[in-house]
């Protein structure tokens, strides 16, 4: 089982408590593991609790194996707790944060990583599909922020990182999630200002589509996005989930104490370079010149206007 490590010093987050939604797989799991490695107790929350329990057992073993021989950490090993929560449901979110506080007595960090979307041309997205993606990615993130704030951070401060997506140039083929993530990007800025006077920092992190994880592969189904994406990167390689978790740990840490309302793109510069979306050759774009106005049939003809 692969070891866990970090570029940050061990014990950095000792005594801290984090909630990581969608923390059982992919990017969320890497974030939860690195936080634990650094001494943070972590609650991973998701809808499918059986899968989460199985993942949590593996995660605990990985942390134990990674810490063997490190006497400083083993005396106070951080706890990993699993909670069932559908982030679309207001009551479930409120209860999940309440249970975290009952169990751990504090919640210093919230990482809103849970989300979901599907590949589809915008013209084919049903209202139900659209609403499901907006509910999960935008409303679910809002509810988790609000509850973490109202139940703890309002009085104690804290740090929130909202994982969004690289929708810098729009998000053709996943317009629903592009719209939802752009909403979270803006929400992040609003909350960072509204909550600044409580010592709560709120940032967003946008992983590129080039971040490889088995969860992402499963999400794309039969479409092999990654072999196409790789060559379109300035790095000429895919990104790793560890490269996301390191950036999240940075944003949560005191090294980012003066950073709030910011969106950090972790994409190897990919957003500035090529796009996957190809526009077929067409002649549908009509140029406009003043010459066209003169010949336009809308041009008043002499004598046709009673006022002339
Ligand atoms: N992961 C994907 N969708 C989710 C949801 N609605 N709640 C929690 N985790 C999720």
Sequence spans of domains, the chain: 17-269
Taking the centre of ligand 1 as the mean of its atom positions, its distance from the CA of residue 35, in whole angstroms, is 21
CA distance 121 to 125: 7
Q: Which two tokens stand for residue 158?
A: 């804290």
CA distance 250 to 244: 10
86 lines ligand 1 (CB under 6 A): yes
CA distance 44 to 147: 16
Taking the centre of ligand 1 as the mean of its atom positions, its distance from the CA of residue 88, in whole angstroms, is 7
87 lines ligand 1 (CB under 6 A): yes
Contact 87, 46 (CB under 8 A): no
Q: 30-33 long-range contacts, Cβ below 8 Å, gap at least 24?
A: 30/241, 30/242, 30/244, 30/245, 31/111, 31/113, 31/244, 31/245, 31/248, 31/249, 32/59, 32/80, 33/4, 33/59, 33/62, 33/63, 33/245
- Which residue from 20, 29, 46, 83 has its CB within 8 A of the most atoms of ligand 1, so it is best to mutate? 46
Per-residue pLDDT of the chain (308 residues; tens, 9 = 90+): 799 999 999 999 999 999 999 999 999 999 999 999 999 999 999 999 999 999 999 999 999 999 865 645 455 679 999 999 999 999 999 999 999 999 999 999 999 999 999 999 999 999 999 999 999 999 999 999 999 999 999 999 999 999 999 999 999 999 999 999 999 999 999 999 999 999 999 999 999 999 999 888 887 777 788 988 999 999 999 999 999 999 999 999 999 999 999 999 999 999 999 998 999 999 999 999 999 887 655 555 554 454 44
136 lines ligand 1 (CB under 6 A): yes
Please work out, in degrees rounded to the nearest 5, the angle formed at the alpha carbon of residue 106 by the alpha carbons of 101 and 109.
110
Contact 8, 256 (CB under 8 A): no
pLDDT at residue 67 in the model: 82
pLDDT at residue 306 in the model: 47
Residue 117 falls in which region: left (phi positive, over 0), alpha (psi -120 to 50) or beta = beta
187 lines ligand 1 (CB under 6 A): no
253 lines ligand 1 (CB under 6 A): no
112 lines ligand 1 (CB under 6 A): no
Contact 96, 146 (CB under 8 A): no
Taking the centre of ligand 1 as the mean of its atom positions, its distance from the CA of residue 184, in whole angstroms, is 16
pLDDT at residue 76 in the model: 63
Nearest ligand 1 atom, CA 116: 2
Instruction: For ligand 1, atom 3, name the residue with the nearest CA.
Output: 115
Taking the centre of ligand 1 as the mean of its atom positions, its distance from the CA of residue 170, in whole angstroms, is 23
CA distance 283 to 189: 41
Determine the CATH number of domain 17-269: 3.40.50.720
pLDDT at residue 299 in the model: 56
pLDDT at residue 297 in the model: 57
CA nearest neighbour of 188 among 208, 160, 169? 160
Contact 42, 81 (CB under 8 A): yes
């Amino acid at each position: 089982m692969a070891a866990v490590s970090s570029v940050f010093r061990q014990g950095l987050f000792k005594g801290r408590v984090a909630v990581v939604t969608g923390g059982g797989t992919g990017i969320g799991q890497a974030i939860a593991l690195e936080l634990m490695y650094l001494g943070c107790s972590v609650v991973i929350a998701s809808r499918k609790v059986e899968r989460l329990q199985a993942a949590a057992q593996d995660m605990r073993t990985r942390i134990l194996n990674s810490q063997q021989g490190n006497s400083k950490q083993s005396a106070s090993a951080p706890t990993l707790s699993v909670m069932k929560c559908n982030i679309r449901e207001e009551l479930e979110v409120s209860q999940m944060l309440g249970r975290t506080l009952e169990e751990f007595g504090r919640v210093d960090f919230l990482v809103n990583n849970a989300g979901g979307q599907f590949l589809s041309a915008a013209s084919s997205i049903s209202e139900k599909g659209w609403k499901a993606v907006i509910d999960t990615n935008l409303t679910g993130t809002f509810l988790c922020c609000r509850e973490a704030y109202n139940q703890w951070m309002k009085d104690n401060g804290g740090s929130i990182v909202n994982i969004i997506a690289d929708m810098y140039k729009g998000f053709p083929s996943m317009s629903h999630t592009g719209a939802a993530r752009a909403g979270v990007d803006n929400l992040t800025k609003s909350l960072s200002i509204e909550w600044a006077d409580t010592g709560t920092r709120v940032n967003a992190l946008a992983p590129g589509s080039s971040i490889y994880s088995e969860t992402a592969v499963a999400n794309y189904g039969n479409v092999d996005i990654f072999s196409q994406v790789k060559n379109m990167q300035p790095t000429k390689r895919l990104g790793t989930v560890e490269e996301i978790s390191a950036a999240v740990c940075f944003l949560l840490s005191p090294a980012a104490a003066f950073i709030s309302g910011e969106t950090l793109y972790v994409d190897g510069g990919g957003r500035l370079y090529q796009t996957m979306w190809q526009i077929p050759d067409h002649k549908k774009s009509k140029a406009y010149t003043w010459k066209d106005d003169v010949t336009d049939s809308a041009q008043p003809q002499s004598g046709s206007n009673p006022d002339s």
